[in-house]
A and B are shown apart, each in its own frame.
Chain A
Amino acid sequence: MKGFVKRFSRELEVVAALAVIMIVFGMIQPIYFSPSNLLDILDQSVINGLLAIGMTLVIITGGIDLTVGSTLAIVIVSVGNFTVMGLRPLPAVLAGVAIGFVLGLVNGVLVAKMRLQPFVATLGMMSVYRGVAYLITGGWPVLNIPQTFRDLMDGDVVGSLSSSMILFLAVTAVAYILLKHTKFGTYLYAIGSNEEATRLSGVNVDKNKILAYAVCGVTVALAAMVMLAKLGTGEPAAGASYETNAIAAAAIGGTSLAGGKGSIVGTFLGAILLQALKVGLVVCGVDTFWQYIATGLIIVFAVYVDVIQGKLAAMRLNKKAKA
Chain B
Amino acid sequence: MAGLLKRDELMSIMIHFSNITKQFPGNKALDDVDFSVEKGEIHALLGENGAGKSTLLNILHGIYPDYDGEVEIDGSKVNFKNANDAIEYGIAKVHQEVNLVTELTVGQNIALGYEPAKKGLIDYEAMYEKTDGILEKLGCRFRSRDRVNSLSTGEMQMILIAKALFHNARIISFDEPTSALTDREVDRLLQLIMELKAQGITILYITHRLDEVYAIADRASILRDGKYICTLQIKETKKDELIRHMVGRDVSAYAVRNQELCSSEEVVLKVESLCKNGVFEDISFELHRGEILSFAGLVGSKRTDVMRAIFGADSYTSGSVYIHGKKAEIRTPKDALRYSLGLIPENRKTQGFVKNFNNAVNMALASMDRFCSRGFVNEKKILENCMYYTGEMNLHPADPEYLTEALSGGNAQKVIIAKWMTTDADIIIFDEPTKGIDVGAKAEIYRLMEELVARGKSIIMVSSELPEVIGMSDRVIVMREGRIMGELGRKELNEEIIMKFAMGG
Residue A147 lies at the interface, judged by CB distance under 8 Å to chain B: no
Interface contact B350-A197, CB-CB below 8 Å:
yes
Q: CB distance B365 to A190 under 8 Å?
A: yes
**B377 contacts A181, CB within 8 Å?**
yes
**B25 beta carbon closer than 8 Å to chain A:** yes
Contact between chains at A202 and B377 (CB < 8 Å):
no
Cβ of B198 under 8 Å from chain A: no
> Which of B105-113, B159-167, B180-188, B367-375 lies at the binding interface?
B367-375
Q: How far is the CB of B45 from chain A (nearest CB, A)?
A: 15
Check A196/B351 contact, CB under 8 A, given A319-B24, A319-B26, A322-B29.
yes
* Binary A-proximity of B398-422 (CB < 8 A = 1, otherwise 0): 0000110111100000000001000
Closest A residue to B420 by CB, please name it: A201
| Cα–Cα, bound, A190→B361 (Å) | 10
- Contact assessment for B313 and A200 in the assembled complex, using a CB-CB cutoff below 8 Å: yes
Q: Enumerate chain A residues within 8 angstroms of B377, measured Cβ to Cβ.
A: 181-183, 185-186
Count A-B contacts at CB 8 Å. 108
In the complex, what distance in Å separates the CA atom of A36 from the CA atom of B325? 73
Q: Is the CB of A318 within 8 A of B354?
A: no
Contact B357 A200 (CB under 8 A): no
Residues in chain B near residue A204, CB distance under 8 A: 332, 334
B62 proximal to A (CB < 8 A): no
Please determine whether A200 and B345 come into contact, CB atoms closer than 8 angstroms. yes
Among B55, B334, B354, B379, the residue within 8 A (CB) of A193 is B354
- Asked if B239 lies at the interface with its beta carbon under 8 angstroms from chain A, I say no
**Pair A202/B50 contact, Cβ less than 8 Å:** no
The answer to whether B52 touches A322, judged by C-beta atoms less than 8 angstroms apart, is yes
Q: How far is the CA of A316 from the CA of B26 in the complex (A)?
A: 9
In angstroms, Cα B282 to Cα A136, docked, is 58
Is B366 an interface residue when CB atoms closer than 8 A count as contact?
Answer: yes
User: Shortest beta-carbon distance, A23 to chain B, in Å?
Assistant: 33
Chain B nearest CB: distance from A312 CB in Å?
Answer: 10
Name the residue of chain B whose CB is nearest to the CB of A202. Answer: B337
CB distance from A178 to the nearest CB of B (A): 10
Q: Do B25 and A190 have beta carbons less than 8 Å apart?
A: no
Interface residues on A, range: 20 to 34
B376 (CB) vs chain A CBs: closest residue: A181
Q: A187-B368, A197-B351 are in contact. Are A182 and B375 (CB under 8 A)?
A: yes
User: Contact string, B8-33, partner A, CB cutoff 8 A, digits 1/0?
Assistant: 00000000000000001111010000
For window 169-198 of A, CB contacts with B under 8 Å fall at: 177, 181-183, 185-187, 189-190, 193-194, 196-198
What are the residues of chain B within 8 A of A183 when measuring CB–CB? 368-369, 372, 375, 377
Residues of B within 8 A of A316 (CB): 25
Query: Would you give the shortest CB distance from A215 to chain B, in whole angstroms?
Result: 15
Residue B395 lies at the interface, judged by CB distance under 8 Å to chain A? no
A39 interface contact, C-beta 8 A: no
Tell me whether chain B's interface is mostly helix, strand or loop, or mixed: mixed
Q: Is there an interface contact between A260 and B406, defined as CB atoms closer than 8 Å?
A: no
- Given A196-B350, A200-B345, A317-B403, CB of A322 within 8 Å of CB of B55: yes
Bound form: Cα–Cα A274–B368 in Å? 37
Assembly CA distance A5 to B205 (angstroms): 44
Residue B296 interfacial (CB < 8 Å): no
Indicate whether B436 reaches chain A with its CB closer than 8 angstroms: no
Q: How far is the CA of A203 from the CA of B377 in the complex (A)?
A: 15
Residues on A with C-beta less than 8 A from B419 are 201
For B51, the closest partner residue in chain A by CB is A322
Given contacts A182-B375, A183-B368, A260-B356, contact A320 B406 (CB under 8 A): yes
Q: How far is the CB of A192 from chain B (nearest CB, A)?
A: 8
A323 with B27: CB separation less than 8 A:
yes
In the assembled complex, the CB of A174 is this many whole angstroms from the nearest CB of chain B, namely: 12
- Bound together, the chains give a CA A269 to CA B363 distance in angstroms of 32
5 A-B interface contacts by CB (under 8 A): A200-B333, A202-B336, A203-B333, A319-B25, A320-B403
**A209 contacts the other chain (Cβ, under 8 Å)?**
no
CB nearest to A191 among chain B residues: B354
Q: Chain A residues with Cβ under 8 A from B80's Cβ?
A: none
Which B residues between 123 and 158 are near A, CB-CB below 8 angstroms? none
In the complex, A199 has a CB within 8 A of chain B: yes
B389 within 8 A of A: no
Decide if A321 touches B345 in the complex (CB within 8 Å): no
